[in-house]
Amino acid sequence: MNAIRTTHKTYEFTHPFSLDGYAQGFQPGRYSIEIEEELSAGIGRLDFRWVKARLYFTPRSGAPIEIDT
């Protein structure tokens, strides 16, 4: 049985920024980040390992933009 935990955080960027692997830059603003981790049993301990991250940005006008990583 694999347990999944999801963490939500919000960050505000005051300047344009870029992410490795994406040709386009991103504009300043408030971004919501959703991180999925899966419980993984190691030798003598339990760990959560990163599975997926999603980045959401809502422009002042328009629908939210989802960026999967």
The pLDDT tens digits for 14-48 are 899 998 888 888 888 888 999 999 998 877 888 88
State which residues form the domain around 55.
Answer: 4-17+26-68
- Which whole number is the average pLDDT over 48-66? 76
E-assigned strand segments in the chain = 4-13, 29-42, 45-57, 65-68
Using alpha carbons only, what angle is made at residue 55 by residues 32 and 30, rounded to the nearest 5 degrees?
40
Q: Give me the pLDDT at residue 5, please.
A: 94
How many other CB atoms are found less than 10 A from the CB of residue 12? 8
CA 34 to centroid of chain Cα atoms: 4
